[in-house]
Structure 1
Amino acid sequence: MTDPLFTPYQLGDNTLPNRIVMAPMTRARTTQPGDIPNEMMAAYYAQRASTGLIISEATQISPQGKGYSFTPGIFTADQIKGWKTVTSKVHEAGGRIFSQLWHVGRMSHESFHDDGKPVAPSALSPDAQVWVVNPETGVGEMVDCPLPRALEREEIKQIEQDYVQAARNAIEAGFDGVEIHGANGYLIDQFLRQTSNHRSDEYGGSQENRIRFLLNVAQAICEEIGAHSVGVRLSPFITQRNMNDPEIIDTILKAAVELEKLGISYIHLSEADWDDAPTIPERFRRDLRAVYSGTIIVAGKYTKERGNQILADKLADLVAFGRPFIANPDLPYRLQHQLDLSPLDGDTLFGGTDKGYTDYPALQK
């Protein structure tokens, strides 16, 4: 009997050969200046095209949405052209790839903004760090995020339109769909939580108001490119980056009810993946299933065994793997044939050359 992970799956218009997803992972390898995707990135993604679906590294929708050095954008002609190279190589290798659309909000650094101020729903610190390359040394380091400024209502409307334009650009660049990054303490997640959103207008206060920004973005993108090509990533159980909101589970379930009405392709759960992270309660998984009938992707330190189990229990439809894909470009083959996984070089995660990026060998011939 074939393990669930290695069975085909229909995701919108895309027939996936297996239920393994390559999770989005920031690698900071773009060409400078301009944060432009390049041939090295195309080779990296194409090497991993045997997976059911690739979700690209987080990609900023505008200059304002940037929070880390050397991360790609999808708002200039050169960036779109660069991404076309990536998607073409992935498709030539038989793969499918979605673009993860990203606005970091307050998870940013003053060097990326003309006024030195990242933006957020409210002027509240994330008490966190981002990876920034020192222009004098050329070396990247983790630096503190400054206090952001609160967005004006008119600016929020503009950001919603930036998301729509980014989705349009992604389809032009050859992506098979887009994933709206609403997780991990970035801008959309900041709107969702009362710990980061102290607004008193229609974007803050009640749960209905705090999900408004997410739903406005999702609806507009669905209208632009079709709901079958749209996913949303959420992280209900993260607490870091000052995101510990006791209402977040109810808020996310309320958002899921509305996302069901929009008919989006999937919800992608970014589960905490550090060693002492809380276990995701089965009740939440069943509550989500009860209100959302679309595809559910889970990500967070899954193994082959855990992945097969959650699929067999019908609490998820696809399982995303992150770091194992870095050193194992043929991860689905290795998992299916019970082959050893290569260890990754942690010193080469962010920035650099092909070392620790495209030089990991595949066992599959």
Structure 2
Amino acid sequence: MKNLFEEVRIGDVTLKNRLGMAPMTRSRALPDGTPGELAAEYYGQRASFGLIISEGTQPSDDGQGYLNTPGIYTPSHIEGWKKITSRVHNEGGRIFIQLMHAGRVSHPDNTPHHRQAVAPSAIAPGVEMFTAEGMKDIPTPRELGQNEIKEVIQEFRTAAAAAIEAGADGVEIHGANGYLIQQFISENSNHRTDLYGGSIENRARFAIEVTKAVIDEIGADKTGIRFSPQGTLNGIMEGESGNDAYRYLIGELNKLGLAYLHIMNFGNEPFLQEIRQLWTHPLLVNRPGRSLDNLSVDLDNGVADVVTVGVWALANPDFIERLKQNAHLNEVDQNTLYGGDEKGYTDYPFLNQ
């Protein structure tokens, strides 16, 4: 595991190690989307990771999916994130803010304007979502018009600029886990017949246009993107053509010189190897359910430049030091993952405690 602790260059920043904290929703923002009072402490505690990728952060009112998630499109949001980025930088860390538009994976009860969700097509995901009144079926979304698609792209651009104003080292565009960008990519959630649907090139168009807009605003060296090929979260079924769509998409994005590509790998090893050949820039790999013994395998095999971890980072703010010392890990409290106060958020003990 020695190579986990080596420096690596990502975009225009040097990471002090090759371990990243994966983006994870915590639902502890204020009702207006401003990060909560404890957020700076939460992220600052974990600044020993080479890179922190923040929880999914909506670029607009329409982009919100879950209760109490943060935004990055108002002056209040920017001021809240400044506290976080300052704390992380003061602790010697680096942080990218993840821009996440949930698309159809939303409920009117969870958004500030209580409007119907938007998506590439009026197709419900067929899953439930937590609201203040408990679990509810996600309603059918409204199909975006072509002019509205341009407006959403502009929202990503504006949010990226706000993230940099807030002191972030960059942004990660969330194109995974069944949210808006993957909804455009997947055949089962995109039944459009215009420039944004049908062929692989058309279904990839939205992801490429969002990425180009963000690059134009903040630079390629501050822009990453995340995909989850063949992931089935939130009602996505990419089918037999799914890998072909990512072959095309990753090939096109590779030309843009992004800071990194972040892949959630669900066990498709041959395709991960293929992605490594297609992508000539830094590659981050996240493997849900991996064992600690296998943490450095993708680095050892030359597949990944950085590996990202999730739950271990939640329960172990000093995960890096514990790994170096081969120390025991705290167990995560599943009951405090979403919402609440400091319990299960900033009160996990450090080794010296």
1:62-81 aligned within 5 A: 62-81=60-79
Which secondary structure does the structure 2 equivalent of 1:59 belong to?
coil
1:78-89 aligned within 5 A: 78-89=76-87
Rounded to whole Å, the distance in 1 between the matches of 2:116 and 2:298 is 42
- Aligned residue among 327, 334, 353 for 2:341: 353
Rounded to whole Å, the distance in 2 between the matches of 1:158 and 1:321 is 33
Rounded to whole Å, the distance in 1 between the matches of 2:290 and 2:323 is 12
Deviations 1:79-129 (A, max 9, x none): 110000010011111110000001000000022275741111001110112
Aligned to 1:253: 247
Contact 1:107 1:129 in 2 (8 A): no
- RMSD of Structure 2 on Structure 1 (CA): 1.4
Aligned to 1:344: 332
Q: TM-score, normalised by structure 2?
A: 0.96
Rounded to whole Å, the distance in 2 between the matches of 1:14 and 1:115 is 39
Which secondary structure does the structure 2 equivalent of 1:63 belong to?
coil
The one-letter code of the counterpart of 1:344 is V
Q: TM-score, normalised by structure 1?
A: 0.93
Contact 2:262 2:285 in 1 (8 A): yes
Aligned to 1:43: 41
Does residue 146 of structure 1 match 2:139?
yes
Segments of 5+ residues of structure 1 without an aligned counterpart are: 135-140, 273-278
Aligned to 2:305: 317
Aligned residue pairs: how many? 350
Contact 2:56 2:70 in 1 (8 A): yes
Rounded to whole Å, the distance in 2 between the matches of 1:114 and 1:237 is 33
- Aligned residue among 280, 292, 316 for 1:328: 316
The one-letter code of the counterpart of 2:245 is T
- Structure 1 runs, 4 residues or longer, greater than 3 Å off: 113-116
Aligned to 1:138: none
The one-letter code of the counterpart of 2:176 is A
Q: Greater shift after overlay, 318-327 or 296-305?
A: 296-305
Does residue 186 of structure 1 match 2:179?
yes
Question: Matched residues, percent identical?
Answer: 46
The one-letter code of the counterpart of 1:17 is K
Rounded to whole Å, the distance in 1 between the matches of 2:326 and 2:252 is 41
- Aligned residue among 256, 260, 271 for 2:265: 271
Does residue 91 of structure 1 match 2:89?
yes
Deviations 1:328-364 (A, max 9, x none): 0000111121111110111111000001100011115
Rounded to whole Å, the distance in 2 between the matches of 1:304 and 1:342 is 13
Which secondary structure does the structure 2 equivalent of 1:35 belong to?
coil
Rounded to whole Å, the distance in 2 between the matches of 1:103 and 1:144 is 19
Rounded to whole Å, the distance in 2 between the matches of 1:118 and 1:202 is 21
Deviations 1:205-226 (A, max 9, x none): 0000000000001011111111
User: Would the alpha carbon gap of residues 142 and 334 (structure 1) be closer, same or farther in structure 2, given more than 3 Å must change?
Assistant: farther
- Aligned residue among 260, 263, 268 for 1:280: 268
- Aligned residue among 133, 141, 155 for 1:162: 155
Cα shift at 1:143: 2.4
Deviations 1:169-191 (A, max 9, x none): 00000000000000000000000
Aligned to 1:276: none
Q: Greater shift after overlay, 36-45 or 152-161?
A: 36-45
Aligned to 1:295: 282
Deviations 1:144-192 (A, max 9, x none): 2101111111000000000000000000000000000000000000000
Deviations 1:290-338 (A, max 9, x none): 2110111111233443221110100111100001111100001111211
Contact 1:301 1:321 in 2 (8 A): no
Which secondary structure does the structure 2 equivalent of 1:27 belong to?
coil
Does residue 12 of structure 1 match 2:5?
no
Rounded to whole Å, the distance in 2 between the matches of 1:208 and 1:113 is 34
